Each structure stands twice: as C-alpha cells, then as structure tokens.
Chains A and B, each alone.
Chain A
C-alpha cells in the first residue's frame, strides 16, 4: 500500500515536471503558448457555462411543468366548481317541482277528503228528506182516510204521533252525529272527545316498567267513569219510574176511590 502511494506521488511529480517542461518549452514559443492557453480557456469556459445552463434548464423546466400541472388541476377544479353550481341550480329547480308536486298531491288528497265528507253529509240530509217525505205521505194518507171517515181522529192521531216522534228522533240523532261525535275530517271515524280520558303511554322504552301501573290506573279511571255513568242512568231511570208511578197513581186514584175492592 505504501508502495502504491509512493508510486502515485512520484507519478504526480513526474507529471508536474513534465508539465513545467512543456510550459517552459511553450514559453520559448509565445505564439504556440498563446494558442494553447486560448484553447484551454475556451474549453474551461464552455464546460462551465454548459454545466450551468443545463442545471438551469432542468430547474426551469421543472418549474414550468409544475406550473402547468397546477394550471391543469386548477382548471379541473374550476370546471368542477362550475359543474357543482350547475348541478345546484338543477337541484333547486327540481326541488321546486318536487315540492309543487307534493303540495298538489296533499292538496288534491285533502280536497278529496273534503268532497267525500260533503257528499256523505248530503246523503245524510237526503235520508232525512226522504224520511220527511215518507212521513208527509203517510200523514196525507191518514188525513184522507180521516176525511173519508174511515178512521177516527184519535186513531189517526195515534198512528201519526209515533211516526212524528220517530222522525224527530231521526233528526236529533243525525244532527247529534254530525255536530258532536262525527270526526270533522273522516266521515266514517267517530270521535270520543276525551269522554273517558286517555290511557297514558310511556314516553320512552326505559319507562316500560311503568306501563302496567299506567294501564291499571287508566282502567280504574275508566271503570269509575262507567260506574258513575251507570249510577246516574239508574238514578234517572228510578226517578222516571217513580214519576210514572206517581202519574199512574194520580190517573187511577179517581177510579179507585169510587170502586170497592173486590178481593177485600
């Protein structure tokens, strides 16, 4: 290894000596020396500038390509943004159409419900009118028969009275049905208007444990209301019976005062 280093050192020395000898020889011939130096200078200059130029060409080219890539992405981005805006406009227009259609659907549905209710109400009125017509026809018949002397006035009145009462009951029932317990939206639905209260429902699954007690309390309140209703009905019936008995007693008493009890 040491030998090799020595060889290298010697070689360098020989080269330097040789170069110095060559330069010395060139100095003896100035024109040749001048030519040699100019050649060397041109070579060094062109090498250095070429290296610089190629480096800058590379860097400048990269910058251009990066800006081109960025330009392309930006244009794509811009185009995308425009597309999004166009799509948004289409969406808004279509949304309006969709909402209009939904509104139309709801409106026509509601209109159908209203018409149905109105038609059924008219049918109800028609029923009352036809009942009235039957009643009047029957009364005409009775009057004609009474006038012809085929029926007595009392019998005619007796036959007419139940019919009139029945007709009045029909009118009352129908009016009550329409005004009180019929649903205002759906003809065939009945509303109870909170007569028996509402059965309380749990608000969330966590309170399921309270359902049983709620139902129990609802049932008890229902029973209580029904019991109250029954007791009031029974009371009114007993009062009615009592009144009837009193009136019957009053009607019969003149006869009983004059008559002798057979059994006694």
Chain B
C-alpha cells in the first residue's frame, strides 16, 4: 500500500474532515477529549473498545454473518479501501503541514520576525493535530484488526461445531447404510417365504377342490344307493 504523491493543498484544507460518498470515516469529526487519552496522548483501551463498538453499530465495521458471506466480504473490502483513503487524506495534509512548518522554521533562521513566529505556531498546531489524527487512526485500525481476529476465533469454534455435526451425520448415514444393506437380504428372504406360502396355498386349494368333488360324488352315490335300496 502507498498513498498517492502529495497533491497541492491549501491552508484552508488542513482542517478538513474526511468524508466519503460510500462510507463515513473511521475517525469522528470532533477530536477526542483529553480524558479519552493516557499520559502519552494515546487512546485508552476502553475508549478504543467504545469506538469499535459504535463503528460496528453504525455498520462501518461489518460483523461476520454466516448466512450472507458475500455481503460481509464486500463490506470488509470496502472498509479496507476506505481506511486507506482516509489515512491518505490526513497523511497528505500532515506532510504538507510538516513541510510548511519546516520551511517557516528555515525561514526564521534566515530572517526572524514576529510574523514568522506566528506562522510557525499556526503550522505547528496543525501538524500536531494531524499527527494525533494519524496516530488515532492507526490505533483504531489496530483495534479493528484485533476485533477481526477475535471474531475469527469465534468462527473457528463454529467450524468445529459444523465438523462435529458432520461427523454425527456420517455416523447416522453409516447406521442407515447398514440397515439398508442388511434389510435388503431379509426382505428378499421374506419375499421368497411369501412366495412359498402362496404355492402351499395353491396346492391346498387344489386338494380342497378335489375333496369337495369327491364328497359331492360320494354324497350323490350314497343318496342313489339309498334310494335304489328303498325301491
């Protein structure tokens, strides 16, 4: 990553606040108060957590969403691009201000007047302010990175959970496969048994028919013999 080379900036642009059409900047428009900083002028951990939380709520820092991965990834890419743009925005102003400051100091060595002191003071304060902005931005980016890594570990847990789920389903599939493979043999055997009983039933039907016929014949014969005996 490298910021584009310094463009021409005017003094009025030094105090500008970054804003993009696509996404608002990570840094707030107003500077952080002294209570948000430690003795070295760096942002406190609690302040950082609050900032990241508010950025998440505002949707500037996306939260991982398993159901809509593509949207999440595009938002992350947008955040990265936007962060770079924001850094470059302040960096160009910082470099401009620093150069101006050094030039004025240089000039002061050559021709020290009351006006020079005033200009030095002006550029010094703008340089300090921009330096602090860049430091804040760096700290917040670092915080976002840490937050991403912590959510990655959460995702890792979810991946493990899915792995376990897959293992359980695999075991179920194996059990079912066993049922299917063993059940097919039993079903085939049962079908053969049913066929066998059907053949037995057919045979019994034939014998029943034969006996029915024989009984009718015998009954008829009995009646005939009995009647002929009476005659």
The finding on whether chains A and B are genuine partners in a shared complex, rather than unrelated, reads yes
A75–B177 Cα gap in the complex (Å)?
31
Contact of A70 with B176 at beta-carbon distance under 8 Å, contacts A57-B1, A105-B190 already known:
no
A44–B184 Cα gap in the complex (Å)?
86
Please tell me if the beta carbons of B211 and A130 are within 8 angstroms of each other in the complex. yes
Q: Which residue of B lies closest to A55 (CB)?
A: B138
Whether a CB of chain A sits under 8 angstroms from the CB of B39 is no
Please tell me if the beta carbons of A87 and B166 are within 8 angstroms of each other in the complex. yes
17-47 of chain A: CB within 8 A of chain B: 23, 30, 33-34, 37-38, 41, 44-45
A146–B225 Cα gap in the complex (Å)?
10
Q: Which residue of B lies closest to A116 (CB)?
A: B197
Please tell me if the beta carbons of A101 and B80 are within 8 angstroms of each other in the complex. no
**Other-chain residue from A45, A55, A60, A105 in contact with B1 (beta carbon distance below 8 A):** A60
Please tell me if the beta carbons of B225 and A45 are within 8 angstroms of each other in the complex. no
Main SS at interface, chain B = helix
Please tell me if the beta carbons of A59 and B138 are within 8 angstroms of each other in the complex. yes
187-207 of chain A: CB within 8 A of chain B: none
**Chain B residues whose C-beta falls within 8 Å of the C-beta of A55 in the assembled complex:** 138
Contact of A66 with B149 at beta-carbon distance under 8 Å, contacts A60-B87, A102-B179 already known:
yes
Whether a CB of chain B sits under 8 angstroms from the CB of A173 is no
71-123 of chain B: CB within 8 A of chain A: 72-73, 76-77, 80, 83-84, 87, 91, 94-95, 98-99, 102-103, 105-106, 109-110
Please tell me if the beta carbons of A83 and B197 are within 8 angstroms of each other in the complex. no
Please tell me if the beta carbons of A104 and B187 are within 8 angstroms of each other in the complex. yes
Contact of A73 with B152 at beta-carbon distance under 8 Å, contacts A84-B166, A126-B211, A130-B211 already known:
yes
- How far apart are B131's CB and chain A's nearest CB, in angstroms? 8
Q: How many residues of A contact B (CB 8 A)?
A: 73
110-167 of chain A: CB within 8 A of chain B: 111-112, 115-116, 118-119, 122-123, 125-126, 129-130, 132-133, 136-137, 139-140, 143-144, 146-147
**Chain A residues whose C-beta falls within 8 Å of the C-beta of B105 in the assembled complex:** 41
**Chain B residues whose C-beta falls within 8 Å of the C-beta of A59 in the assembled complex:** 138, 141-142, 145
Contact of A122 with B208 at beta-carbon distance under 8 Å, contacts A66-B148, A133-B215 already known:
yes
Please tell me if the beta carbons of B194 and A125 are within 8 angstroms of each other in the complex. no
A76–B231 Cα gap in the complex (Å)?
106
**Chain B residues whose C-beta falls within 8 Å of the C-beta of A181 in the assembled complex:** none
Whether a CB of chain A sits under 8 angstroms from the CB of B165 is yes
Please tell me if the beta carbons of B221 and A140 are within 8 angstroms of each other in the complex. yes
Contact of A80 with B163 at beta-carbon distance under 8 Å, contacts A59-B141, A115-B197 already known:
yes
**Chain A residues whose C-beta falls within 8 Å of the C-beta of B169 in the assembled complex:** 84, 87-88, 91
Question: When A and B form their complex, what is the total count of cross-chain residue pairs whose Cβ atoms lie within 8 Å?
Answer: 203
Whether a CB of chain A sits under 8 angstroms from the CB of B66 is yes
Please tell me if the beta carbons of A60 and B141 are within 8 angstroms of each other in the complex. yes
**Which of B8-16, B28-36, B40-48, B198-206 interfaces with chain A?**
B198-206
**Chain A residues whose C-beta falls within 8 Å of the C-beta of B184 in the assembled complex:** 101
**What is the interface of chain B, defined by CB distance below 8 A to chain A?**
1-2, 64, 66, 69, 72-73, 76-77, 80, 83-84, 87, 91, 94-95, 98-99, 102-103, 105-106, 109-110, 134, 138, 141-142, 144-145, 148-149, 151-152, 155-156, 158-159, 162-163, 165-166, 169-170, 172-173, 176-177, 179-180, 183-184, 186-187, 190-191, 193-194, 197-198, 200-201, 204-205, 207-208, 211-212, 214-215, 218-219, 221-222, 225-226, 228-229
**What is the interface of chain A, defined by CB distance below 8 A to chain B?**
23, 30, 33-34, 37-38, 41, 44-45, 48-49, 52-53, 55-57, 59-64, 66-67, 69-71, 73-78, 80-81, 83-84, 87-88, 90-91, 94-95, 97-98, 101-102, 104-105, 108-109, 111-112, 115-116, 118-119, 122-123, 125-126, 129-130, 132-133, 136-137, 139-140, 143-144, 146-147
A-B contact pairs, 13 of them (CB 8 A): A37-B110, A45-B99, A59-B138, A63-B141, A63-B145, A70-B151, A80-B159, A87-B169, A102-B183, A104-B183, A108-B191, A126-B207, A136-B222
